[in-house]
């Protein structure tokens, strides 16, 4: 506070309240000051968000190949590429797989995360903090490590998962073949996402005042009732954030899938498909810049829709 | 109310911004003309020469790294960068676009037609690269529309390694394996004797296709049509191994190194793999040998040519100087005494027959590989830049076939439905 009284800092305020000898200039000055303050943010957003996004859309409206990517001259084709991508028989198959992967991942990540969070919240035993810390490991490991480990564990010939199932007399499962690939990568992705949900929901639980539970208990509410009537409603804002972020993360997942299956068989999602086409990776080494950016844009729009849903729900909650 | 207007105003601003940017992006699309100018003979070498190769496993200080750097002409130093095979062409594409292409790139041979078609490469003539005396089948992928781009300094090939101890135990004579039927019989015997069969790499993408082509061509199939009964029979062979538990199911996701590691465990009697593992095979604690991959009805199946081309990317500024750099370094790596070191270091056989003969005389390890390399076919020789599309379809078919695990109708559907998009 005392700093404000120093003459240097007080001076600008003095000029502003000074008699308007030249009112226009001083107003222009404040406008420029405002612009100067906003500029870094705007420049950053434009350079690192708007420009790549717009380039992505521009690319999906032109027919690029390797030659025109280097030398220019890709013809403008409007929405032809979108039409071609959607008309492919595999498009809807991939969409379906993406929906299954995303929904299953989010729902189970959330359910397991909530169960664990509630467990750690209610039972404060010794080592509970340590144990909670250990649950964060999937989050801290580089995905290349956990993805490769999952791939080994799911090896059809020598994997530990099949050895475990063998104890119960089950036949070995070919985890990463075309039919089972989606199931396998979803399992790995759920494992990867549980810690995030655990952390967010645990902190959400801590923010629920304990006296609410006490009051409910006095009124004769059982643990089940207090969970549904107190925990769930009061956790709603945190739940919303966890689900939305989970959705955006899951929609764009490439790494874990790519490491385990290179997007083969049923594990192909919109994100891995786009990645494979953009860089000529996976089954096909053909580079398809335009198709990849078209799929990328579709993915972006999907995420945007859910962003709006989130805003709408949040606004409704505030009312 | 205030929130809505604020949101609306923000939205308007971002739309305006986006539109402006879009226009800017369109206007800013001018790129340099493909340069046909420049010649190595008109330039002189510069102080720094940039060199890209697809061998990240040869890190700084390894024999390959030192060999490359020793090829710097007087007054120059070589700056070497490595990237995985599948990334190198994309990085080159971007670099040429930005005008920052290196002086020399070592590019996998099936990528040559596409790179040339996209005008990423200077011609061998422009860049002062000598191609005389190179075997025709090895040079094939580097010739596009009658024009030569770059030079292959050596070649590798695929063969069938075997675990001699296992074969002896099972009473199998490797010399008697001359067609698919005798191979199947041999695998069956080794499995009956407690072995695990054969390893190979069927991973999605070019690597798996590379390993599949000897069977594909050996069946009599042709890349111009992958739906023929011959092609299906090749898929059926590999699919059957999986179905009979004669090959690990992980073959569908194993790359060549992973497949080799499985063979090194000593559990497998056979391994389809490359000549670059020849010296590693000599160091195993079980006895190994190698035979050519048999064709369906007998004889040796043609294998695809393996190995890389040394090329000079196209340059727009100071082109002649860059080409002079390329000419000097590539000549050093591919000619004279150093050419032998190049190939011995990488585990390749030289692309010129007389140097190859010298190499074999000095190192008998190479003897079984001479015939496969001399009979090898370029993957792109027939189809040119169309090959990448066919390879994608073939990869999809192979994946489907391996997943069918021996089921005949599944294999057939896989080959007929493969579109490889």
* B216-238 per-position pLDDT tens digit: 999 999 999 999 999 999 999 99
Calculate mean pLDDT across residues B129-148.
92
Calculate mean pLDDT across residues A14-25.
53
> B340 falls in which pLDDT band (50, 70, 90)?
confident
- For residue B28, what is the nearest residue in chain A, using CA coordinates? A72
Q: Distance between CA B214 and CA B180 in Å, rounded? A: 12
Chain A / chain B CB contacts < 8 angstroms: 119
User: Domain span at residue A133?
Assistant: 82-318
For the beta carbon of residue B132, count every other beta carbon within 10 angstroms. Answer: 6
Calculate mean pLDDT across residues A191-196.
92
Q: φ, ψ for residue A254 (rounded to 5)?
A: -120, -45
Q: Distance between CA A140 and CA B327 in Å, rounded? A: 48
* Contact yes or no for A69 and B25 at CB 8 A: no
* Contact yes or no for A65 and B118 at CB 8 A: yes
Q: Is the CB of A184 inside 8 Å of chain B's CB atoms? A: no
**How many CA atoms lie within 13 Å of B173's alpha carbon, on the beta-carbon side?**
3
Residue A5, pLDDT > 70, answer no
Residue A10, pLDDT > 60, answer no
Calculate mean pLDDT across residues A92-104.
96
> A172 falls in which pLDDT band (50, 70, 90)?
confident
Calculate mean pLDDT across residues B178-184.
96
In this structure, is residue A56 part of a structural domain?
no
In this structure, is residue A61 part of a structural domain?
no
Please tell me which of the candidates A50, A90, A158 has its beta carbon nearest to residue B421.
A90
Length of chain B: 421
pLDDT value for A15:
46
* Contact yes or no for A265 and B399 at CB 8 A: yes
- For residue B405, what is the nearest residue in chain A, using CA coordinates? A177
CA distance readout (Å), B64 to B67, B152, B355: 5, 16, 19
Calculate mean pLDDT across residues A21-33.
73
**Mapping DSSP to helix (H, G, I), strand (E, B) and coil, where does residue B148 land?**
strand
Q: What is the pTM of this model?
A: 0.84
**Model confidence pLDDT, tens digit, residues B251-268:** 998 999 999 999 999 999
Crossing angle of helices A80-87 and A51-61, in 10° steps, is 80
**Model confidence pLDDT, tens digit, residues A134-156:** 888 888 899 999 999 999 999 88
Residue B40, pLDDT > 90, answer no
Cβ contacts of A157 on chain B, cutoff 8 Å: 248-250
Please tell me which of the candidates B118, B253, B389 has its beta carbon nearest to residue A66.
B118
Residue B381, pLDDT > 90, answer no
Residue A249, pLDDT > 70, answer yes
Please tell me which of the candidates B21, B34, B204 has its beta carbon nearest to residue A283.
B204
Q: How many angstroms away from the CA of B105 is the closest CA of chain A?
A: 17
Q: How many angstroms away from the CA of B2 is the closest CA of chain A?
A: 13
Strands B270-274 and B198-199: parallel
Q: How many angstroms away from the CA of B17 is the closest CA of chain A?
A: 8
Residue B7, pLDDT > 80, answer no
C-alpha gyration radius of chain B: 25
Calculate mean pLDDT across residues A128-138.
85
The fraction of chain A above a pLDDT of 70, given in percent, is 92
Where do the structural domains in chain B lie, given as residue ranges? Answer: 40-152+308-347, 158-304+381-417
* Contact yes or no for A50 and B29 at CB 8 A: no
The fraction of chain B above a pLDDT of 70, given in percent, is 91
The dotted CATH code for B40-152+308-347 is: 3.40.190.10
Whether B339 contacts B350, CB under 8 Å = yes
pLDDT value for A4:
41
pLDDT value for B25:
38
pLDDT value for B16:
40
**Lowest mean pLDDT across A3-7, A89-93, A118-122, A201-205:** A3-7
Calculate mean pLDDT across residues A294-312.
90
> B33 falls in which pLDDT band (50, 70, 90)?
very low
Whether B253 contacts B207, CB under 8 Å = no
Q: Distance between CA B105 and CA B94 in Å, rounded? A: 14
**Mapping DSSP to helix (H, G, I), strand (E, B) and coil, where does residue B290 land?**
strand
Please classify residue B179 by burial: count the beta carbons closer than 10 Å to its beta carbon, then call 0-12 exposed, 13-18 middle and 19+ buried: middle
Q: At A136, which CATH number?
A: 1.10.3720.10
Go through B363-399 and write b for each residue having 16 or more CB atoms within 10 A of its CB, e for each that does not: eebbebbbebbebbbbbbbebbbebbbbbbbbbbbbb
* Contact yes or no for A72 and B119 at CB 8 A: no
The fraction of chain B above a pLDDT of 90, given in percent, is 75
Strands B104-108 and B147-148: unpaired
Residue B9, pLDDT > 70, answer no
**Lowest mean pLDDT across A119-128, B244-253, B283-292:** A119-128
Cβ contacts of B32 on chain A, cutoff 8 Å: 71
Q: How many angstroms away from the CA of A35 is the closest CA of chain B?
A: 14
**Lowest mean pLDDT across A105-119, A272-286, A291-305, B407-421:** B407-421
Please tell me which of the candidates B17, B253, B396 has its beta carbon nearest to residue A176.
B253
Spatial CA neighbour of B283 closest among B306, B303, B263:
B263
Mutate to test the interface with A, among B3, B201, B252 (most CBs of A within 10 A): B252
Q: Distance between CA A96 and CA A270 in Å, rounded? A: 10
* Contact yes or no for A262 and B253 at CB 8 A: yes
Q: Distance between CA B133 and CA B152 in Å, rounded? A: 11
The dotted CATH code for B158-304+381-417 is: 3.40.190.10
Residue B272 bridge partners (DSSP)? B160
Highest mean pLDDT among A10-14, A25-29, A146-150: A146-150
Q: Distance between CA B7 and CA B1 in Å, rounded? A: 10
Scan residues 136-155 of A and list those with Cβ closer than 8 Å to B: 151, 155
Q: Distance between CA B349 and CA B370 in Å, rounded? A: 8
User: What's the number of domains chain A is made of?
Assistant: 1
Q: How many angstroms away from the CA of A67 is the closest CA of chain B?
A: 4
Please classify residue A292 by burial: count the beta carbons closer than 10 Å to its beta carbon, then call 0-12 exposed, 13-18 middle and 19+ buried: buried
The three-point CA angle B151-A283-A263 to 5° equals: 140
Task: State the alpha helices, DSSP H only, in chain A.
Answer: 7-17, 23-45, 51-61, 66-71, 80-87, 89-122, 128-134, 137-140, 143-153, 160-167, 181-206, 210-218, 223-226, 232-234, 236-251, 255-261, 270-279, 289-318
**Model confidence pLDDT, tens digit, residues B265-286:** 999 999 999 999 998 999 999 9
Whether A294 contacts A85, CB under 8 Å = yes
C-alpha gyration radius of chain A: 27
Residue A16, pLDDT > 60, answer no
Q: Distance between CA B293 and CA B280 in Å, rounded? A: 19
CA distance readout (Å), B202 to A283, B211, B307, B376, B400: 11, 7, 19, 20, 11
Whether B152 contacts B309, CB under 8 Å = yes
What is the helix (H) or strand (E) element at residue B48, kind and residue range? strand B48-53
* Contact yes or no for A283 and B205 at CB 8 A: yes
In this structure, is residue A64 part of a structural domain?
no
Residue B10, pLDDT > 50, answer no
Whether B40-152+308-347 and B158-304+381-417 share one fold: the answer is yes
In this structure, is residue A200 part of a structural domain?
yes
In this structure, is residue A52 part of a structural domain?
no
Q: How many angstroms away from the CA of B78 is the closest CA of chain A?
A: 26
Residue A166, pLDDT > 60, answer yes
pLDDT value for B17:
40
In this structure, is residue A13 part of a structural domain?
no
* Contact yes or no for B399 and A178 at CB 8 A: yes
ipTM of the predicted structure?
0.81
Cα A180 from chain centroid?
Answer: 24
Q: Distance between CA A119 and CA A202 in Å, rounded? A: 9
Please tell me which of the candidates A57, A67, A286 has its beta carbon nearest to residue B388.
A286
**Mapping DSSP to helix (H, G, I), strand (E, B) and coil, where does residue A52 land?**
helix
Spatial CA neighbour of A194 closest among A119, A302, A303, A98:
A119
Q: Distance between CA B272 and CA B251 in Å, rounded? A: 11
């Amino acid at each position: 506070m005392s700093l404000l009284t120093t003459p240097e800092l007080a001076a600008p305020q003095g000029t502003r309240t000074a008699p308007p000898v030249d009112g226009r200039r001083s107003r222009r000055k404040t406008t420029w000051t405002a612009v100067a303050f906003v500029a870094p943010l705007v420049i950053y957003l434009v350079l690192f968000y708007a420009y790549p996004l717009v380039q992505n859309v521009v690319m999906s409206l032109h027919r690029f190949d390797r030659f025109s990517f280097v030398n220019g001259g890709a013809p403008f084709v409007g929405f032809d590429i979108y039409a071609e991508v959607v008309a492919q028989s595999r498009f809807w198959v991939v969409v379906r797989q993406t929906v299954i992967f995303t929904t299953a991942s989010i729902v189970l990540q959330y359910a397991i995360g909530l169960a664990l969070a509630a467990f750690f919240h209610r039972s404060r035993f010794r080592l509970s903090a340590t144990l909670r810390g250990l649950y964060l490991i999937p989050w801290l490991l580089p995905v290349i490590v956990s993805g490769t480990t999952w791939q080994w564990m799911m090896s059809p010939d020598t994997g530990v998962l099949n050895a475990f199932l063998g104890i119960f007399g089950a036949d070995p499962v070919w985890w990463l073949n075309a039919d089972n690939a989606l199931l396998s990568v979803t399992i790995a992705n759920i494992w990867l996402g549980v810690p995030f949900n655990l952390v967010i929901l645990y902190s959400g639980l801590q923010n629920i005042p304990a006296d609410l539970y006490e009051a409910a208990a006095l009124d004769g509410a059982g643990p089940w009732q207090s969970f549904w009537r107190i925990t769930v409603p009061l956790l709603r804002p945190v739940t919303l954030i966890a689900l939305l972020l989970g959705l955006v993360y899951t929609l764009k997942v490439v790494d874990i899938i790519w490491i385990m299956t290179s997007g083969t068989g049923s594990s192909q999602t919109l994100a891995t498909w786009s990645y494979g086409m953009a860089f000529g990776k996976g089954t096909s080494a053909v580079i398809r810049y335009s198709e990849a950016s078209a799929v990328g844009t579709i993915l972006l729009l999907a995420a945007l829709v859910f962003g709006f849903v989130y805003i709408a729900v949040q606004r409704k909650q505030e009312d | 109310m205030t929130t809505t207007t604020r949101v609306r105003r923000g939205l308007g601003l971002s739309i305006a911004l986006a539109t402006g940017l879009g226009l800017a992006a369109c206007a800013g699309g001018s790129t340099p003309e493909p340069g046909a100018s420049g010649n190595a003979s008109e330039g002189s070498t510069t102080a720094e020469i940039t060199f890209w190769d697809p061998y990240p496993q040869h890190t700084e200080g390894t024999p390959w790294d030192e060999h490359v750097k020793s090829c710097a002409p007087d007054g120059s130093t070589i700056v070497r960068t490595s990237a995985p095979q599948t990334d190198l062409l994309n990085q080159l594409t971007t670099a040429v676009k930005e005008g920052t292409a290196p002086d020399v790139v070592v590019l996998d041979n099936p990528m040559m037609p596409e790179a040339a078609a996209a005008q990423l490469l200077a011609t061998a003539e422009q860049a002062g690269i000598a191609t005389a005396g190179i075997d025709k089948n090895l040079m094939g992928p580097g010739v596009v529309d009658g024009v030569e781009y770059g030079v292959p300094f050596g070649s590798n090939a695929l063969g069938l390694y075997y675990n001699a101890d296992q074969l002896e135990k099972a009473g199998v004579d490797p010399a008697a394996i001359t067609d698919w039927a005798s191979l199947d019989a041999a695998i069956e015997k080794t499995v009956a004797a407690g072995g695990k069969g054969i390893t190979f790499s069927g991973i999605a993408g070019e690597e798996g296709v590379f390993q599949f082509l000897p069977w594909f061509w050996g069946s009599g199939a042709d890349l111009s049509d992958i739906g023929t009964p011959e092609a299906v029979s090749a898929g059926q062979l590999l699919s059957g191994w999986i179905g009979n538990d004669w090959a690990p199911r992980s073959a569908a996701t194993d790359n060549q190194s992973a497949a080799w590691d499985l063979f090194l465990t000593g559990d497998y009697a056979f391994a389809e793999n490359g000549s670059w593992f020849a010296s590693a095979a000599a160091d195993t604690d079980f006895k190994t040998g190698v035979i050519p991959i048999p064709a369906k009805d007998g004889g040796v199946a043609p294998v695809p040519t393996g190995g890389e081309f040394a090329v000079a990317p196209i340059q727009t500024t100071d082109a002649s100087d860059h080409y002079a750099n390329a000419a000097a370094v590539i000549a050093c790596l591919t000619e004279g005494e150093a050419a032998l070191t190049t190939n011995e270091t990488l585990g390749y056989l030289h692309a010129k027959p007389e140097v190859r003969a010298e190499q074999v005389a000095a190192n008998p390890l190479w003897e079984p590989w001479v015939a496969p390399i001399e009979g090898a076919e370029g993957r792109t020789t027939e189809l040119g830049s169309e090959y990448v599309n066919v390879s994608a379809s073939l990869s999809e078919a192979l994946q489907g076939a391996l997943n069918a695990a021996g089921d005949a109708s599944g294999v057939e559907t896989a080959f007929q439905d493969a579109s490889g998009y």
